[in-house]
Amino acid sequence: MKLNAVALALLGLSPTIVFAGLGEPGFSGHISVVTGQKTVKSNFQTENSIKTGSLNTEGESDTSLIVVPLGYVRYTFGGSNSKQLFAGTSKQDIAIGDLALEIGYKQELKYGTIVSFAFLPTVIGGETWADPFVTGVEREETDIEGNAYLVSANNISGTHFSVDFGVYNLSIDDEKSGLTLNKSGLTLSEVATLDREGTGIYSKFSYEGMLGDAGRLITAVKYISFDADGSAISFDQWGMSVTFQKSVGQHKFWVTASYDKARYDEVNPIFNKKQKDDKFGTFIAYEYDNFMNLANWSLIGVVSYDVTGSSMDFYDEQQYITSVGMSYKF
C-alpha cells in the first residue's frame, strides 16, 4: 500500500464542527452497517498476485463487495456537560469519508473552544506486498499497520476556525522493497532508499461558514510530511478540500471535493526519477432521518471516487466506492 494512503486516511479525522457544546449528559451514539461495492485499480491491492508485462505500468482493476459495521459511543459529563469520552467513528466523519476508529477525550473550554485528544489504533492496516516491484511471478504478502495520535481545537474562541495536528507511524512486518531487483542491478544502498517504514506528521486548518438557508460550507487546507526510512519514499504533501452540507426536512446531503499534491525527496532508483503525485477526490453522502417513520433509524448512502496521477505509471491509482446502509442512534 502506498504510504500516502496512511496520511490521507488521517486527514480530517476530527469531527465536523458543532457549535452547541458536547450534548446531553450520559451515554449516546450510533450503530451503522453499510454494504456496497469497491473497485480498486492499483499495483498495491493484493487481489492480483502476479503482475504481468512491464513494471512501470498501471495496476489491474479489482471489484469486491464490502460490508462495513461502524459505531460510535460517547459519555458526556461534568459541569455544563463540558467533558466527554468517546470511541468509534462519528457520523460526521462518515459523512465526509473518514472511516477510522478514534478513542479519546474532549473538553469544552471558555468561549466555545472544544479541544480533543485522540488515539487512532491501527489507523491503516491489512496486507500489502513485501516487495511490490516484482513481475512475472507470484508476489509475497505481508502485514502493514500504523497508529496515530491527534490533537484538535475546534471552534476556537467561537470563531468557527479549527486546527488539527497529529503524528503517525507505519510499520511493515516483512519489508523487502527492491530486494528482488537487487539481484538484477540495484545496489544495497539503492534498495535502502525504498524502505517504506517511518513516521510522519500532518496538520489541517479549517473554517466552517454558514450560508443561511442554502446550507454550510467547510473549507480546509492540509499539510503532511512523512519521514520514511527510505529517502525515495519520504515526501511532503499539500492539499485543500471543500465540503458543502445541506439539510432539507429529513434529508441531509454532503458533497466533498479535494485536491492534494505530493512531492518526494529523492530519486526512485527503479524508475530513475522523483515521484510526484496529484490526487483528486470526490465524496457524496446522503442521510434520510427516521426512514419509513422508524424512530432513530436512518438510511445512509455513499458514493466516492479518488484518482492519483503520478510521474510514474506504476503509482497511478483509482478507487470507486458505492454503498448503502442503515444507522441507529441512541
pLDDT at residue 92 above 80? no
Q: Which of 1, 34, 5, 2 is nearest to 281 (CA)?
A: 5
Q: Percentage of the chain surpassing pLDDT 90?
A: 72
Say what the pLDDT of residue 197 is: 96
Say what the pLDDT of residue 19 is: 40
Identify the DSSP state of 158.
G
pLDDT confidence band for 99 (50 / 70 / 90): low
Residue 95 identity? A
Tens-digit pLDDT profile for residues 230-289: 999 999 999 999 999 999 999 999 999 999 999 999 999 999 999 999 999 999 999 999
pLDDT at residue 13 above 70? no
Instruction: Return d(Cα 257, Cα 206) in angstroms, integer.
Output: 14
pLDDT at residue 109 above 60? yes
Give the sign of the dihedral formed by CA 31, CA 36, CA 41, CA 45.
positive
Say what the pLDDT of residue 90 is: 59
pLDDT confidence band for 98 (50 / 70 / 90): low
C-alpha cell recorded at residue 8: 490521507
Half-sphere exposure of residue 145: CA atoms within 13 angstroms, side-chain side: 6
**Domain containing 7: what range?**
3-329
Give me the number of domains the chain comprises: 1
CB–CB of 203/167 below 8 Å?
Answer: no
Give the sign of the dihedral formed by CA 45, CA 51, CA 54, CA 55.
positive
Say what the pLDDT of residue 11 is: 39
Tens-digit pLDDT profile for residues 148-183: 899 999 999 999 999 999 999 999 999 999 999 877
| CATH number for 262 | 2.40.160
Instruction: Return d(Cα 116, Cα 61) in angstroms, integer.
Output: 39
User: Cell 505530493 maps to which residue?
Assistant: 262
Q: Is 110 helix (H, G, I), strand (E, B) or coil?
A: helix
pLDDT at residue 34 above 90? no
CB–CB of 2/224 below 8 Å?
Answer: no
Say what the pLDDT of residue 4 is: 42
Q: Percentage of the chain surpassing pLDDT 70?
A: 89
Exposure of 65 by Cβ count < 10 A (0-12 exposed, 13-18 middle, 19+ buried)?
A: exposed
Tens-digit pLDDT profile for residues 35-89: 999 999 999 999 889 999 999 999 999 999 988 888 889 999 998 899 999 998 7
Say what the pLDDT of residue 3 is: 38
Instruction: Return d(Cα 234, Cα 230) in angstroms, integer.
Output: 7
